[in-house]
Chain A
Amino acid sequence: EVQLVDSGGGLVQPGGSLRLSCAASGFTFSNYAMTWVRQAPGKGLEWVSTISGGGSTYYADSVKGRFTISRDNSKNTLYLQMNSLRPEDTAIYYCAKDRGWQSEVPDYWGQGTLVTVSS
């Protein structure tokens, strides 16, 4: 059974940093692209970033240069390093497994972790 456990969220001041983690199990982690999607309170889904099975990375314009996605295949863990955080980054952040090695479509999602950026 595919399981994704998101963690690392919390309250941070504007300009601060946070690192999210996503522990994966139930599938061969290195064979699949992984994605972060966020959802601001009461709003829709927004794609944030994707890393392919080969390590190629892609970012939404809204986070490019501030966020870094990475993966540790030996630990079956996905990360999202978030720097220079802004109030508009406040959201639930979901990690998701992709259907393929390259980005295709997220087919399993974690439960999400809440990031609140506020002073």
Chain B
Amino acid sequence: SSELTQDPAVSVALGQTVRITCQGDRLRSYYASWFQQKPGQAPVLVIYGNNNRPSGIPDRFSGSYSGNTASLTITGAQAEDEADYYCNSRDSSGNHLVFGGGTKLTVL
């Protein structure tokens, strides 16, 4: 089982705000990152270091964390945001990456 826990599915109305969460004890010690994956495509990094956005990622994507929970927030969700979202951090050794089980986001 994954050391990072995500809700399997979340839905949001077009234009509304949605928060996707990721829980795990390792998040108290290591940064969380978030990846977006659309069907048939490779993952894309959307947030790193808990709350940093790579160039080219729309500013409607933001990250935050508190205690053992990291969150990805999409403010004003668009149809093209419908995708699977995976959180990522490290295991207790610090040398191994771990992924959450993924959250399927549906934009209604």
Q: Indicate whether A47 sits within 8 Å of B98 (C-beta atoms), given known contacts A105-B33, A105-B48, A105-B88.
A: yes
B102 is an interface residue with CB less than 8 A from chain A: yes
A60 at the interface (CB under 8 A from B): yes
| CB neighbours of A99 from chain B (8 A) | 48
Q: Among B31, B37, B42, which residue has the most Cβ atoms of chain A within 10 A?
A: B42
Of residues 27 to 41 in B, which have CB atoms within 8 Å of A's CB atoms? Answer: 31, 33, 35, 37
Q: Which residues of B contact A37 (CB under 8 A)?
A: 43, 97, 99
Closest residue on chain B to residue A58 by CB atoms: B95
The distance in angstroms between the C-alpha atoms of A99 and B35, with both chains bound, is 14
User: In whole Å, how far is B29's beta carbon from the nearest beta carbon of chain A?
Assistant: 15
Encode B77-93 as 1/0 by CB contact (under 8 A) with A.
00000001010100000
Taking CB atoms, residues of chain A closer than 8 Å to B42 are 94, 109-112
**Residue-wise interface mask of A (83-119) relative to B, using a CB-CB cutoff of 8 A (1 in contact, 0 not):** 0000000000010000100011111111110000000
Among B2, B35, B54, B95, point to the contact of A103 (Cβ < 8 A). B95
**Cβ contacts A to B, 8 pairs, < 8 Å:** A37-B99, A44-B84, A45-B37, A99-B48, A105-B33, A105-B88, A105-B97, A109-B43
A-side residues, CB < 8 A to B, are: 35, 37, 44-47, 50, 58, 60, 94, 99, 103-112
A-B pairs with lowest CB-CB distance, top 8? A47-B97, A109-B42, A45-B99, A44-B102, A105-B33, A58-B95, A107-B45, A105-B48
Apart from the given pairs A45-B35, A107-B48, 16 other A-B contacts in the complex at a CB distance below 8 Å:
A35-B97, A37-B43, A44-B2, A44-B100, A46-B99, A47-B97, A50-B95, A50-B97, A105-B31, A105-B45, A106-B45, A106-B97, A109-B42, A109-B43, A109-B44, A112-B42
